[in-house]
C-alpha cells in the first residue's frame, strides 16, 4: 500500500470514528456490543495505518535522516557537542568519498544556523579530527558512511541543511550508552531504532490499563490518524517517543494516586524535551490555588500534593545534576540552553503553534521584502506587541482553565493543561502527538472529543492538499489554537468529580 492510499484510508477512518462518536451520543447505551466491536476493529485498522501496515516508505523500518542525527549526535556527543555534527560529518564523508570536493559543498553552520559554503568554514571543518582520538575517528568515519549508504545521494546532501542534534543532556543518559553499545557493523545495529516501538507499546498499554477501553481506543485512533504525528516524521528513529511515554505515565500514575511515581515520571519526561514540564507545573498550580481559595485541602489532598511536589523537584534536581556530571558539568546545560534558544529563533517550515501565526503577521524579510519592513517597522518576530498577544492568551487560558476546573480531579487538569503548550511556544509538528491526551477526557467531556474528531479530517486535508509554501502549518496552527480556545468555551464545569475508577 502506498503512502497516498494510506492517507486516503486514514480520512475514511477519521470519518468513521466521528460517526461512531455521534452514534454513541445518540444511542444512550443501546447496541453496546456491535458498537464496541466496530470501535475495536477501527482502532486496529487505524493503528496499522500509522506505520502503513509494515509497508515502509523505504527499504526498512528505520528513519535514516532523523536516525543519523540521533545516532551520530548521541554516540559522539562528547566530541561533537551541539555545534560540530555537520562539520565533522562532512570531513568524514570527504575521507571516504572525495566527490564532490569541499569547494562545492554547502551546509548549515550550527553555531548560528546559517547556510554557508564549506569553503567559508574550511578551517573549522579540518579541525574536527582534533576532537577525536584516532580510534574514535575511524569509527566515526565508518558510521557516517553507513548512514550515507542507507539513502539516495540527494537526500544525503540535504541532511547537512537540517538543524542538528537538539536532545537534552537528560536524553543522553539513555541515548549515549544505547548507541555506543550498538555498533552499526554488528548484529545489534537495529536495537536503538527498535527501542521506540517498545516505548510506543508501553505507552498504549499504560493508557488502556489506566483509562479504560473506550477512551484508550479513541486516543489511539486519533494519534494514529493525526497527520502532525504521523510515522513519517520521526517513526523508526531513536528514542523519539520517550518524552510522550513518561508524560503519559505521569498522568497514569496520577490517576491511580501514585503521587511519587507520577512526580518522578513527570520530571524525566519534562527534562527530555522541556515543554512537557508545563503539565506538572499547571497541576501543582491548580492544587496550590485550590488550597488557597478553598480554605485548604483535605489531609489526603495535602499529602498527595506534597508527595507529587517533592518527587517532581527531587527528580528534576537529580536528573539535572547527574546528566551534567556525566557530560561536562553545568557547561553542557549552558550549551543546551544556547542551542535551544538558537533553534527556536530559526524559522523552520514545520512549526505549529500560536507563535507560527503571529510570526507570520510580524515577520518581514529584509532581503526580499524590504518595503514590508519599512512600512510596518517590524523585525522578524521581535515586536513587543507580538509577545504581549501570545503572553496574554496563554495567561488567560491558564486563569480560565483553573477557574473552570476548580473542583475537578487532578488528572482532568493534567489532560486539559496540554492546551497551554501551543500558546506558549511553537513546536515542530510531530510533538503535537500530545493531543492524544484530549480523547482521554471522553468519559466526562464528550463534546470536546467530538469537536476534536470533527477537526481531524481538516488536519488530514491540510497534509494531502498541495498548499504553497508554509501555509499548511499556518492553517494547522490556526486549527490548533482555535480548538484550544474553543475547548475552554465548551468545557462543562460541574460538581467535583470523584477520581474515576481505573478500568
What are the tens digits of pLDDT across the range 459-480? 999 888 887 767 889 999 999 9
pLDDT value of residue 128: 94
More confident residue, 282 or 322: 322
**Could you tell me the pLDDT band of residue 456, with boundaries at 50, 70 and 90?**
very high
C-alpha cell at 392: 496574554
The answer on pLDDT for 457 being more than 90 is yes
Q: Residue 114's beta-bridge partner residues? A: 109
**Could you tell me the pLDDT band of residue 31, with boundaries at 50, 70 and 90?**
low
Neighbour tally for 368: CB within 10 Å: 7
The pLDDT > 70 percentage for the chain reads 84
pLDDT value of residue 378: 38
- Which of 93, 124, 123 lies closest to 111 in space, CA to CA? 124
The answer on pLDDT for 269 being more than 90 is yes
The answer on pLDDT for 497 being more than 70 is no
Element (H or E) spanning 414, and its range? helix 410-416
Of 57-66, 127-136, 187-196, the least confident: 57-66
Alpha-carbon span 12 to 8, nearest angstrom = 7
- Which of 328, 326, 311 lies closest to 173 in space, CA to CA? 326
C-alpha cell at 124: 573549522
Alpha-carbon span 473 to 475, nearest angstrom = 5
Alpha-carbon span 445 to 412, nearest angstrom = 10
Residue 76: partners with Cβ closer than 8 Å, 6 or more residues away: 88, 132, 136, 140
**Could you tell me the pLDDT band of residue 487, with boundaries at 50, 70 and 90?**
confident
pLDDT value of residue 502: 40
Alpha-carbon span 192 to 61, nearest angstrom = 12
Residue 67: partners with Cβ closer than 8 Å, 6 or more residues away: 147, 193, 236, 237, 238
pLDDT digit string, tens, across residues 148-161:
998 988 999 999 99
More confident residue, 296 or 373: 296
Q: What are phi and psi of 379, to 5 degrees?
A: -85, 165
- Which of 167, 87, 127 lies closest to 327 in space, CA to CA? 167
Element (H or E) spanning 480, and its range? helix 471-489
pLDDT value of residue 360: 67
pLDDT value of residue 469: 64
H helices present in 151-212, as ranges: 153-158, 169-180, 191-211
pLDDT value of residue 366: 44
Neighbour tally for 214: CB within 10 Å: 18
Of 258-262, 301-305, 383-387, 429-433, the least confident: 383-387
The answer on pLDDT for 344 being more than 70 is yes
Alpha-carbon span 10 to 457, nearest angstrom = 9
Mean pLDDT across the chain: 85
Of 289-293, 302-306, 418-422, the least confident: 289-293
The answer on pLDDT for 499 being more than 80 is no
The answer on pLDDT for 295 being more than 60 is no
The answer on pLDDT for 324 being more than 90 is yes
- Which of 247, 269, 246, 239 lies closest to 63 in space, CA to CA? 239
Of 7-11, 84-88, 408-412, the least confident: 408-412
* pLDDT mean over 131-140: 96
Question: Which of 22-31, 364-373, 388-397 is the most confident on average?
Answer: 22-31
pLDDT value of residue 262: 97
pLDDT digit string, tens, across residues 207-246:
999 999 999 999 999 999 999 988 888 988 999 999 999 9
Q: What are phi and psi of 36, to 5 degrees?
A: -65, -45
Q: What angle do CA 342, 326, 164 make, to 5 degrees?
A: 30
Q: Is the peptide bond before 66 cis (omega within 30 degrees of 0)?
A: no
H helices present in 327-377, as ranges: 330-345, 354-362, 370-376
**Could you tell me the pLDDT band of residue 98, with boundaries at 50, 70 and 90?**
confident
Query: Could you please report the per-residue DSSP string of 44-105?
Result: HHHHHHHTGGG--SSSSSS-HHHHHHHHHHHHTHHHHTTT-HHHHHHHHHHHH---S-GGG-
* pLDDT mean over 334-358: 88
The pLDDT > 90 percentage for the chain reads 56
pLDDT value of residue 493: 53
- Which of 351, 340, 356, 357 lies closest to 430 in space, CA to CA? 351
Q: What share of the chain is helix, strand, coil (3-state, %, to 5)?
A: 75, 0, 25
pLDDT value of residue 385: 63
CB 248 within 8 A of CB 210: no
Beta-strand (E) ranges in 246-394?
Answer: 351-352
pLDDT digit string, tens, across residues 50-75:
887 776 655 467 888 999 999 999 99
Q: Residue 108's beta-bridge partner residues? A: 115
Amino acid at each position: 500500500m502506498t503512502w497516498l492510499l494510506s492517507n486516503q484510508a486514514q480520512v475514511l477512518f477519521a470519518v468513521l470514528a466521528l460517526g461512531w462518536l455521534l452514534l454513541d451520543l445518540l444511542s444512550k447505551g443501546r447496541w453496546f456490543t456491535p458498537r464496541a466491536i466496530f470501535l475495536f476493529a477501527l482502532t486496529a485498522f487505524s493503528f496499522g495505518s500509522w506505520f502503513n501496515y509494515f509497508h515502509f516508505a523505504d527499504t526498512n523500518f528505520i528513519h535514516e535522516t532523523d536516525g543519523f542525527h540521533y545516532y551520530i549526535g548521541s554516540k559522539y556527543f562528547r566530541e561533537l557537542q551541539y555545534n560540530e555534527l555537520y562539520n565533522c560529518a562532512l570531513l568524514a564523508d570527504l575521507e571516504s568519498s572525495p566527490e564532490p570536493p569541499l569547494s562545492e559543498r554547502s551546509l548549515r553552520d550550527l553555531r548560528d544556523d546559517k547556510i554557508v559554503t564549506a569553503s567559508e568554514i574550511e578551517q573549522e571543518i579540518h579541525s574536527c579530527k582534533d576532537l577525536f582520538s584516532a580510534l574514535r575517528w575511524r569509527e566515526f568515519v565508518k558510521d557516517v558512511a553507513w548512514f550515507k549508504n542507507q539513502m539516495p545521494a540527494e537526500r544525503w546532501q540535504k541532511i547537512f541543511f537540517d538543524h542538528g542534534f537538539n536532545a537534552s543532556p537528560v536524553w543522553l543518559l539513555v541515548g549515549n550508552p544505547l548507541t555506543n553499545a550498538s555498533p552499526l557493523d554488528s548484529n545489534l545495529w537495529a536495537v536503538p531504532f527498535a527501542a521506540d516501538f517498545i516505548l510506543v507499546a508501553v505507552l498504549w498499554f499504560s493508557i488502556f490499563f489506566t483509562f479504560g477501553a473506550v477512551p484508550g481506543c479513541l486516543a489511539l485512533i486519533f494519534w494514529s490518524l493525526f497527520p502532525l504525528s504521523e510515522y513519517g516524521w520521526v517513526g523508526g528513529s531513536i528514542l523519539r517517543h520517550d518524552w510522550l511515554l513518561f508524560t503519559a505515565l505521569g498522568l497514569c500514575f496520577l490517576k491511580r494516586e501514585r503521587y511519587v511515581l507520577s512526580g518522578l515520571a513527570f520530571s524525566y519526561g519534562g527534562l527530555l524535551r522541556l515543554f512537557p514540564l508545563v503539565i506538572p507545573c499547571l497541576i501543582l498550580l491548580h492544587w496550590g490555588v485550590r488550597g488557597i481559595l478553598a480554605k485548604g485541602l483535605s489531609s489526603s489532598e495535602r499529602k498527595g500534593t506534597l508527595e507529587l511536589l517533592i518527587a517532581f523537584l527531587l527528580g528534576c534536581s537529580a536528573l539535572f545534576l547527574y546528566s551534567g556530571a556525566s557530560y561536562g558539568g553545568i557547561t553542557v546545560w549552558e550549551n543546551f540552553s544556547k542551542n535551544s534558544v538558537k533553534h527556536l529563533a530559526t524559522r523552520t517550515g514545520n512549526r505549529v503553534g500560536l507563535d507560527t501565526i503571529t510570526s507570520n503577521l510580524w515577520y518581514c524579510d529584509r532581503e526580499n521584502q524590504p518595503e514590508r519592513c519599512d512600512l510596518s517597522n517590524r523585525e522578524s518576530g521581535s515586536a513587543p506587541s507580538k509577545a504581549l498577544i501570545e503572553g496574554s492568551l496563554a495567561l488567560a487560558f491558564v486563569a480560565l482553565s483553573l477557574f473552570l476546573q476548580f473542583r475537578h480531579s487532578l488528572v482532568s487538569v493534567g489532560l486539559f493543561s496540554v492546551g497551554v503548550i501551543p500558546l506558549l511556544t511553537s513546536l515542530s509538528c510531530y510533538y503535537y502527538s500530545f493531543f492524544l491526551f484530549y480523547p482521554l477526557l471522553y468519559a466526562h467531556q464528550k463534546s470536546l472529543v467530538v469537536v476534536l474528531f470533527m477537526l481531524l479530517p481538516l488536519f488530514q486535508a491540510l497534509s494531502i492538499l498541495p498548499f504553497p509554501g508554509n501555509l499548511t502549518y499556518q492553517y494547522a496552527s490556526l486549527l490548533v489554537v482555535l480548538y484550544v480556545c474553543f475547548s475552554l468555551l465548551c468545557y462543562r464545569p460541574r460538581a467535583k468529580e470523584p477520581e474515576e475508577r481505573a478500568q
